[in-house]
Amino acid sequence: MRLLKTVCLLFASGLLLTSCKSEPKKEMAVVDNSSIYIKGTIEAELTSPPFVPAPVGNRTAKKLLIDMEILEKEGTMTDGVQYVYWTFGGSVPGSFIRARVGDEIEFTLSNHPDNKLPHNIDMHAVTGPGGGATSSFVAPGHKKTFSFKALNPGLFVYHCATAPVGMHIANGMYGLILIEPEGGLPKVDKEYYIMQGDFYTKGATDEKGLQAFDMTKAIKEDADYVVFNGKVGALTGDNAITANVGETVRLFVGNGGPNLTSSFHVIGEIFDKVHIEGGSMINENVQTTSIPSGGAAIVEFKVEVPGTFIIVDHAIFRAFNKGALGMLKVTGEENKKLYSGVKQEGIYHPEGGTIQTMPNNDKKKVAVSNVEKPLAKKIADGKQLYMTTCFACHQAEGQGIPNAFPPLAKSDYLNADVKRAVGIVLNGKTGEITVNGNKYNSVMTKQTLSEEEVADVLTYVYNSWGNNKTNVSVNTVKEVKSSH
């Protein structure tokens, strides 16, 4: 059977070669998807992981309407560890989109009014500037629509591309869009959606509580968690994906990154087919496939024997110590001819489920001194704080983001009143304000900083970007605090 297939393939490619030589124009016409005619309009079905919408099948190309909502929300990274995820459609990865080549996709991106930040979307399936990013930048409480024609079939990543881009991706802003070829993908029995991502937290791996994003670790690519579908255990135990013996399973696998390449592997299975990098080339009989950050792969295999098959990033410390571990549970008749051994479910459970780390010793020192730090030291410390706490909104050069976050650079509002600025950092701020002639009516959340940190960060801000060089003392912060 395999031999016959190979012979046919050789024969077919031989034919192709000859026809290419004699009629190259005709070959070109077949791959020009820009002129595929669209007929009718439908709304896209969107699903959260690990599920995917129904196959496109052999429907004609259409205008496909997609409505996606961005939600910033707290979720569970692992037992006892909370994290504020930024999501496309409420899940990490974001909703799965299924379309076909030639579809004209009209995409509406809504940024929920309770969100704190502007976002956008860069879809790798888009042929156009920024993959849509330039046309979809949207502030909280707004929505934006743009459209594109799906020219190339394949499995594509989409992600947020708002500055700081790495931070938006690290907080979970990625997902997959599948563009099926003409006639659809071959039918299989089970299809699932898995996407890897790396996460960076202020505390060490498994340190309890609500964990903030850590920019320094992200830049060092020193991940605390490497997970499938946004959290440790999203695909284990009761959340495992399932199949029956004899079925063919297709996994749409993406890697959001932001940093790490996935060595994607299913322990005890061999991928019969891999659409390399999510494109049209198919490799066969693959053990581990490499999925770059911002890339994808489609893997397919028939499950012949029952058992629990462990899905891992085969950079294996990530699997056993950082969470990159899922399960495919296959039920059905044993087949002793194919596999005679004793089924040992659980042998690949993560070691105790947690990492063996030493307790975190570098407890923050409590400021006791009454002596004010030298100005240069305050500015240096303040800058570090600014780059981890304030810059997500006010931006690296204090320039802010129009209509969303006021500037701190040359801000008349800031320079007019130091105590008011201290109050804002201590208590947050809502309600309309005017900065450099522009109105803002948004929310700045209360920052949980010590008095010394408030003094440092504001001193840095006042001594940067053309501001009035005020040295904010800890005493001023204390005064403002006690007057509330």
| Binding to ligand HEC in span 108-167, by CB under 6 A | 116
**DSSP-assigned letter for residue 2:** H
Shortest distance in whole angstroms from residue 453 CB to ligand HEC: 8
Q: Give the bridge partners for 258, in sequence order.
A: none
* Partner whose binding site includes residue 119, from ligand HEC, Cu ion, none (CB under 5 to 8 Å by kind): Cu ion
Can you tell me which of 46, 253, 319, 425 binds ligand HEC, judged by CB under 6 A? 425
293 Cβ neighbours under 8 A, 6+ residues apart:
255, 256, 257, 258, 259, 260, 261
Shortest distance in whole angstroms from residue 207 CB to ligand HEC: 22
Tokens of 413: 């509002």
- Identity of the amino acid at 430: T
Q: Between 230 and 407, name the residue whose CB sits nearer to ligand HEC.
A: 407
CA distance 428 to 420: 11
Binding status of residue 434 toward ligand HEC by CB under 6 A: no
Residue 195, annotated as binding a ligand: no
Residue 373: count of CB within 10 angstroms of its CB = 19
* Partner whose binding site includes residue 431, from ligand HEC, Cu ion, none (CB under 5 to 8 Å by kind): ligand HEC
DSSP 336-378: TTT--SPP-TTTTS-GGGS--------PPPPP---SPPPHHHH
Shortest distance in whole angstroms from residue 76 CB to ligand HEC: 22
List the x/- string, 361-400, binding to ligand HEC by CB under 6 A: ----------------------------xx-xxx------
Residue 394, annotated as binding a ligand: no
Planar angle of CA 112, 113, 114, nearest 5 degrees: 90
Residue 484, annotated as binding a ligand: no
483 Cβ neighbours under 8 A, 6+ residues apart:
none
Shortest distance in whole angstroms from residue 423 CB to ligand HEC: 9
| Binding to ligand HEC in span 399-418, by CB under 6 A | 405-408, 411, 413-414
Can you tell me which of 234, 440, 463, 467 binds ligand HEC, judged by CB under 6 A? 440
64 Cβ neighbours under 8 A, 6+ residues apart:
41, 42, 43, 44, 99, 103, 104, 105, 106
CA distance 39 to 7: 39
Shortest distance in whole angstroms from residue 173 CB to Cu ion: 5
166 Cβ neighbours under 8 A, 6+ residues apart:
218, 219, 258
Q: Dihedrals φ, ψ of 86, to 5°? A: -110, 125
* Partner whose binding site includes residue 94, from Cu ion, ligand HEC, none (CB under 5 to 8 Å by kind): none
Residue 8, annotated as binding a ligand: no
Residue 173, annotated as binding a ligand: yes
Shortest distance in whole angstroms from residue 119 CB to Cu ion: 3
Can you tell me which of 171, 442, 459, 467 binds ligand HEC, judged by CB under 6 A? 442
Q: Dihedrals φ, ψ of 225, to 5°? A: -135, 135
* Partner whose binding site includes residue 445, from Cu ion, ligand HEC, none (CB under 5 to 8 Å by kind): ligand HEC
* Partner whose binding site includes residue 126, from Cu ion, ligand HEC, none (CB under 5 to 8 Å by kind): none
Is the alpha carbon torsion for 347, 350, 352, 356 positive or negative? positive
Give the residue from 413, 429, 404 showing the smallest Cα distance to 461. Answer: 413
* Partner whose binding site includes residue 411, from ligand HEC, Cu ion, none (CB under 5 to 8 Å by kind): ligand HEC
Shortest distance in whole angstroms from residue 86 CB to Cu ion: 5
Taking CB under 6 A as the binding criterion, the range among 162-170, 198-206, 266-274, 423-431 that sits at the site for ligand HEC is: 423-431
**Residue 75 belongs to what H/E stretch?**
strand 63-78
271 with 299: CB under 8 angstroms?
yes
Cis before residue 50, ω within 30 degrees of 0? yes
CA distances (Å), origin 282, targets 239, 271, 288: 29, 11, 14
CA distances (Å), origin 227, targets 94, 191, 231, 443: 14, 20, 6, 32
Binding interface with Cu ion (CB under 5 A): 119, 160, 162, 168, 173
Q: Between 230 and 406, name the residue whose CB sits nearer to ligand HEC.
A: 406
Q: Between 26 and 446, name the residue whose CB sits nearer to ligand HEC.
A: 446
Shortest distance in whole angstroms from residue 141 CB to ligand HEC: 12
Shortest distance in whole angstroms from residue 216 CB to ligand HEC: 16
* Partner whose binding site includes residue 173, from ligand HEC, Cu ion, none (CB under 5 to 8 Å by kind): Cu ion
* Partner whose binding site includes residue 390, from Cu ion, ligand HEC, none (CB under 5 to 8 Å by kind): ligand HEC
Instruction: Please count the residues of this chain forming the interface with ligand HEC, following the rule CB under 6 A.
Output: 31
Shortest distance in whole angstroms from residue 416 CB to ligand HEC: 9
CA distance 173 to 168: 6
The residues that touch ligand HEC, with contacts defined as CB under 6 A, are: 116, 389-390, 392-394, 405-408, 411, 413-414, 421, 424-425, 429-431, 433, 435, 440-445, 447, 457-458, 461
Please give the annotated binding residues, written as ranges.
119, 124, 159-160, 168, 173, 314
Please give the annotated binding residues for Cu cation, written as ranges.
119, 124, 159-160, 168, 173, 314
